[in-house]
Chains A and B, each alone.
Chain A
Amino acid sequence: MVKVIDLPDRELLYGHKACPGCAAGTIARLILKVTGERTFLAYPASCLSTVTSIYPQMAFAVPSFTAPFPATGAVLSGMAAAVKAKRMQDVTVLGMAGDGGTADIGLQALSGAVERGDKIFYVCYDNEAYMNTGVQRSSLTPFGATTTTSPAGKRGVKKNMFEILIAHRIPYCATASIAHTADFLAKVEKARNTDGPSFLHVLAPCPTGWGFPSDQTMAIGRLAVETGLWFLAEYEGGRVKMNLAPKNFKPVQEYLGLQKRFKHLGAAEWALIEGQRDREWADMRRKWGF
């Protein structure tokens, strides 16, 4: 269990240019507090690279590598091989990528690295669209959300990365929310201590792309879980544990109604989304028995 008081005061990510209230900023900053100075970091083209690595600025204070958009998993494999060859001890090979860089173009490289069993810790910070390039839809954009490439709202549903990783029989994978910070930190620590590949999928509310005021990032994150539109679970030793299973969900409009990207939706779409949610949860309960 991570104790907040024990986290180092030294900032390993500082002075970055992320929008005010950016959850990805908190996520990256806290992960580095857990993994520490002995971290080798790779991240692909994404908000995270755009806001940290603007020559000569380098907001990460750990050795890091800006990977090509599809390549994070492969780059991490290379780093893990180097760590092994040099017999380095106590280092974390960490990847942090967006939803596009993970679930779309980076999926193949991630799958390869996990299948090879490389000792890497891969984080997907999920702001649910291609944000740094101006809000285009990804396969992790949720149903109904407006982006510049889904102006009337996305039709398809959000891809389930958790299950894709489980299908690899990965030693450890989990979903998390930055608004549930203790749960998030505990998972970061477990993931980085895993002997083999680990994967963490963190919901990262994005004031700019989702359309909400910058002081509501945590409130939105909490509502995603309370409305059942995001879930907190982990897969370990071949079993899934649901970390939080709300007895009753809040109405989805409490979450959707606060964000511009869902503003065009009305009662009919809310009912549709609620129906999807209830089917998903029934399915999860059946599969994972909680």
Chain B
Amino acid sequence: MPKPAVSVFQYPRTATEMPCGPYAKAGVIVETNAGWRISRPVIAAARCVRCQQCWLICPDGAIDRTGESYAVDYNFCKGCGLCARECPAKAITMAKEDGQGE
């Protein structure tokens, strides 16, 4: 899935390793958001008409439209339910979270 991933961040261990000045590298993600979910969107590929609506409106950009069927990046989906509610084909259902993350 072509989505940004968590990178290993080496925290400064000593004062000399602290960043010099108030700046930092862009595009750094140090943890997932999977633990936020209480329910997870499940896309039924057979029903999906590839309208891109879910991909477009997801506040977290967690839907991938590049594969054979649409897929959710469960590392970063927060389970808000917007995609399921807005899907015109009713192809997305919210399932109770099993706490397994990705």
Q: Is the CB of B2 within 8 A of A10?
A: yes
Q: Output the nearest chain A residue to B52 by Cβ-Cβ distance.
A: A4
- Chain B residues whose CB sits within 8 angstroms of the CB of A12 once the complex forms: 27
- Chain B residues whose CB sits within 8 angstroms of the CB of A213 once the complex forms: 81
Q: Is the CB of B57 within 8 A of A218?
A: yes
Q: Is the CB of B59 within 8 A of A29?
A: yes
Q: Is the CB of A22 within 8 A of B26?
A: no
CB distance from B86 to the nearest CB of A (A): 5
Q: Output the nearest chain B residue to A14 by Cβ-Cβ distance.
A: B4
- Chain B residues whose CB sits within 8 angstroms of the CB of A178 once the complex forms: 57
CB distance from A98 to the nearest CB of B (A): 16
The CA-CA distance from A23 to B78 in the complex, in Å, is 14
Q: Output the nearest chain B residue to A26 by Cβ-Cβ distance.
A: B59
Question: Known: A14-B61, A26-B58. Contact between A58 and B28, CB under 8 A?
Answer: yes
A38-62 to B contact mask, C-beta < 8 Å, 1/0 = 0000000000000001011111111
Question: Known: A10-B2, A56-B24, A216-B85. Contact between A18 and B59, CB under 8 A?
Answer: yes
The CA-CA distance from A218 to B64 in the complex, in Å, is 20
Q: Is the CB of B26 within 8 A of A5?
A: no
Q: Is the CB of A25 within 8 A of B26?
A: no
B12-31 to A contact mask, C-beta < 8 Å, 1/0 = 00000000000011111111
- Chain A residues whose CB sits within 8 angstroms of the CB of B28 once the complex forms: 56-58
Q: Is the CB of A14 within 8 A of B29?
A: yes
CB distance from B80 to the nearest CB of A (A): 4
The CA-CA distance from A5 to B65 in the complex, in Å, is 10
Within 8 A of B (CB), among A15-34: 15-18, 20-26, 29-30
Q: Is the CB of A61 within 8 A of B26?
A: yes
Q: Is the CB of B79 within 8 A of A20?
A: yes
The CA-CA distance from A213 to B84 in the complex, in Å, is 13
- Chain B residues whose CB sits within 8 angstroms of the CB of A60 once the complex forms: 26-27
Question: Known: A15-B76, A20-B80. Contact between A56 and B61, CB under 8 A?
Answer: no
Q: Is the CB of B27 within 8 A of A56?
A: no
Q: Tell me which of A4, A10, A14, A24 contacts B56 (CB under 8 A).
A: A4
Q: Does A11 contact B (CB under 8 A)?
A: yes
Q: Is the CB of B85 within 8 A of A215?
A: yes
The CA-CA distance from A21 to B32 in the complex, in Å, is 17
Which of A4, A7, A17, A56: most chain B CB closer than 10 A? A56
CB distance from A7 to the nearest CB of B (A): 8
The CA-CA distance from A9 to B85 in the complex, in Å, is 22
Within 8 A of A (CB), among B59-96: 59-61, 64-66, 76, 78-82, 84-86
Q: Does A214 contact B (CB under 8 A)?
A: yes
Q: Output the nearest chain A residue to B77 by Cβ-Cβ distance.
A: A20
Within 8 A of B (CB), among A172-222: 178, 181, 207, 213-219
CB distance from A108 to the nearest CB of B (A): 24
- Chain A residues whose CB sits within 8 angstroms of the CB of B58 once the complex forms: 26
The CA-CA distance from A216 to B36 in the complex, in Å, is 18
Q: Could you give 28 example pairs across A and B, Cβ below 8 Å?
A: A4-B56, A5-B52, A9-B65, A9-B66, A11-B3, A12-B27, A13-B61, A14-B29, A14-B61, A15-B4, A20-B59, A20-B81, A21-B80, A21-B81, A24-B59, A26-B57, A29-B59, A57-B29, A58-B24, A58-B25, A59-B29, A60-B26, A63-B26, A181-B57, A214-B81, A214-B82, A215-B80, A215-B85
Identify the A interface with B (CB < 8 A). 4-5, 7, 9-18, 20-26, 29-30, 53, 55-64, 178, 181, 207, 213-219
Return the 10 tightest CB-CB contacts between A and B, nearest first.
A25-B59, A215-B81, A61-B27, A20-B80, A15-B29, A21-B80, A20-B78, A214-B80, A215-B85, A14-B4
